[in-house]
Every structure is written in structure tokens, then in C-alpha cells.
Amino acid sequence: MKIQVYSSHHTRISPSGAHRWLNCPSSVFLPHLGEEGESEAAWNGTLMHAAAAKAIIQRLRPSVMVGATFTKSNENGGWEDLPDTFTPEMAETIRPYVEYCREMASVLGDKEAFVWEVEMPLDFDFLLGKAEAVRGTADFVAWDRANGLLHIVDLKTGHWPVSPVDNPQLMLYAMGAAKAIANADPRFITEPTRRVTFTIVQPKAGGVQSVTVDVSKELRVFFNQVMEATDALDRAMKDPEAHVVEGLWCKFCPAAAACPAKLGNAVEFVELMAQSPQDMGDREVARLLELAPDVNLWIKEAKREAVKRNGVPGWRIAPPRRKRVWKDATAAERYLAANGVKTPIPSPAQAIKKHTVPDDLWHWEATGSQRLVRDDSPFGDQA
């Protein structure tokens, strides 16, 4: 079984980064030093979204796809096989989302006035076209015309908790979906949709969370905020360093290592370290702790640069870590079931700790990317 992953061209102004650029427009135009490639967690999220879409559209249980491989579209219109494999852990992560969307489609799908779409491409040029092109993809969109209700469902595969309440990413999806649906079916306008239900499905943090808002109230206020942000983005495009705003949105900012505000914080940290923390007052120690994450940004960027250079004096590149994976999940499940192990089946590492597992049922697979280690590290090349 093959799972198709469609290449996407990420834009700097995207719904997924709305929390950041609505508050700090300069974050869009400062150099994105860490954008050479996706992190392992982000890439796994991309793979799981592709698998979830296939499961919903083809009415598959995620568990039956375990062992499937991935293939990715390329610029020439063809497909390239990827080394990644769909694992039991991935299947369990997307299962609640797939079940939620499938149930919604089955319950409301019999109604004449109900339509839904998976991985719905959206554009937001009508909102933010003055700065640059804005694109996004909504995971699951459903329009219940009979009840005047629009559903926006988003799958989150990470551990960092995300709430659907006052979520700018989901509100932008609602606006983009409203435009797309209205273009396809004028009844979206003539029989107005008055409410939107936003749902976050995040199995690793919070489960399923939903909130319903009134289009004429909450979304109208948000629309005005986006219009104000459009002007701020235009100003930031001309002078990025003059429109930096620090806040919680800095956590995942790709421009953080090039941010003048963060650089100032790093300089302040060094100045504070002129004395030992034991000799500092409470306020100085508290400030030191506040500044520490910004210093870590430069450490992280230095490591990234060393990897790009294939090592620097005293540091070398070690192979990726390895993990055991099932060669054939179905065969592994049959073997474990015959030996009293209930589903969902554990990982090979977990199974080997408690049971005798034949070596031909599993193999080693690289996980993650190359690592930077000291030249004298005794552990760098080990699995």
C-alpha cells in the first residue's frame, strides 16, 4: 500500500503562523535562519496528515495501513518513493481524528445539504494580498447547510497543547473555506451560515476539543484584526527590524535567531553572567531564567550551522539514531496474538522486553537526522 504525500509550497504568511504574524508582523520578513528543512516531528506530522486523509476518503481503519510506505509528488508531475513507513504509533495517533471525521460524515452525510472535503486548499489573497500570496490547507471542512453550520476540524500530532478557542489559524480557515464554498455554491450566501464549530483533535495533548462561535460576532471582530494586520505587514515589509514585538508567539518563530530583540536579550544575558548566580539578587536570577531560552536559540543555530558544514574542529557528524520497527505489522500482530499479547500491538522494543520475538519479524530503521557530537564522544555512532 502506498500513501501519497503532496508537495506543498509554504508561504511566509500562512494560517498556521497566524498567531505569530498577527502579533509580530516583522517575523515574516526577518531572515528565517532555520528554514532549510523540516524537523523530524514536523515531517512525521506531514506523513500522518497524508495517511489520515487517505483513511477518511477510502474508509480505511488506520491500523490496516500499518507497514504502508509513502510516495511524494515532485515538480515534474511524477512521484518519488520515500524511505518512511507508516507505523503503529502513527496509526494510533491519527485514529481519533479519522474516527471523528468519519462519524461526522456518516451522521450528516445523508442530508442533501451537507458537503465535506479533506485537505481543502484555500487562498486568502482577498484578506492579505497586499503583502504577498497567502495559502493554506484545511484538514477537514464540512458545511451543514440545513443547520447553517460550518465545521473546521484540525489534526494536531504534537505534544504542545493547542486550543480551538480564539484560534486565529482556524478562524482564517473558516474565512477561506467560506469563500471557496460560496464560489462553488451561491446558497452559502443566500442561506447564510450563522455559526462555525472549530475542533482540534490532538491525541497527545487534550484529545478532542470543540467550540462554536457566532459568525456575526467573533468572526467579524477577527476580520477587523486581520485588516489591521494587513497594514502592519506592509510597514514591516519595508522595515522589518522596526516592527518587532516579543511574546508567547516567539516560541516557534523561524526568525527568532535573527531577531534584534532576541539578540539584545542574549547580550543582556552575557552581561548578567559577569557574576555568579549565587551572588545575584532574586530579580537578577529571575531575569537570567527569562533570558535563557533566547540564548539557546543561538546555540541551536550554531549546531545547525556546524551540521551544514559537515562538522567543525572538535565536532563531527554522527549517523542518525536507529530504532526497531516491524517488517510486517500484520505478521507481528498474528505472532503476538498467538502468544497472548492484545492489540494494539506494542513496538518491537516494548515487545522484546516482555516476550521472545523472532529476529525476522523486525529490523533496524534510522530515525531522525544526522547528529552533531564531539570528536571524543564514545556514544555518537551507537544506535
189 plus 265 within the same structural domain: no
- Is 259 part of any domain? yes
219 plus 355 within the same structural domain: no
173 plus 261 within the same structural domain: no
pLDDT band at 127 (very low <50, low <70, confident <90, very high): low
Residues 6+ apart with CB under 8 A from 234: 130, 131
**Residue in 177, 178, 195 with CA at minimum distance from that of residue 139:** 177
pLDDT tens-digit profile of 14-59? 888 888 888 888 888 887 655 445 577 788 899 999 999 999 999 9
Q: Within 10 Å of residue 135's Cβ, how many Cβ atoms?
A: 17
Highest mean pLDDT: which range of 102-106, 123-127, 155-159: 155-159
Cα(242)–Cα(238) distance, rounded to whole angstroms? Answer: 9
pLDDT at 130: 54
Radius of gyration of the chain from Cα atoms?
Answer: 24
The amino acid occupying position 162 is V
CATH number at residue 6: 3.90.320
Residue found by looking up cell 505489522 in the block = 329
Which residue, of 285, 308, 331, is where some domain finishes? 308
Residue found by looking up cell 480564539 in the block = 166
CB 74 within 8 A of CB 80: yes
Q: Look up the domain containing 359 and give its range.
A: 321-367
- Is 231 part of any domain? yes
Which has more pLDDT, 243 or 150?
150
For the chain, give percent helix, strand, coil, nearest 5.
45, 20, 30
Strands 69-73 and 2-5: parallel
247 plus 223 within the same structural domain: no
Question: Is the pLDDT reported for residue 305 higher than 50?
Answer: yes
- Is 382 part of any domain? no
67 plus 114 within the same structural domain: yes
52 plus 130 within the same structural domain: yes
pLDDT at 285: 92
pTM: 0.74
pLDDT tens-digit profile of 251-261? 778 787 778 88
- Is 377 part of any domain? no
- Is 272 part of any domain? yes
- Is 383 part of any domain? no
For 282-340, the three-class secondary structure string (H helix, E strand, C coil) is HHHHHHHHHHHHHHHHHHHHHHHHHHHCCCECCEEEECCEEEEEECCHHHHHHHHHHCC
Of the given ranges (43-52, 125-134, 246-255, 359-368), which has the lowest mean pLDDT? Answer: 125-134
Which has more pLDDT, 127 or 239?
239
Cα(311)–Cα(306) distance, rounded to whole angstroms? Answer: 5
pLDDT band at 227 (very low <50, low <70, confident <90, very high): confident
- Is 378 part of any domain? no
Q: Quick one: average pLDDT of 353-362?
A: 86
Question: Is the pLDDT reported for residue 156 higher than 90?
Answer: yes
pLDDT band at 169 (very low <50, low <70, confident <90, very high): very high
**Furthest-apart CA atoms within the chain: distance in Å:** 73
354 plus 298 within the same structural domain: no
% of the chain surpassing 90 pLDDT? 26
Question: Is the pLDDT reported for residue 231 higher than 90?
Answer: no
58 plus 164 within the same structural domain: yes
pLDDT band at 108 (very low <50, low <70, confident <90, very high): low
237 plus 281 within the same structural domain: no
Which has more pLDDT, 268 or 210?
210
Domain count, the chain: 3
136 plus 222 within the same structural domain: yes
115 plus 233 within the same structural domain: yes
Residues 6+ apart with CB under 8 A from 39: none
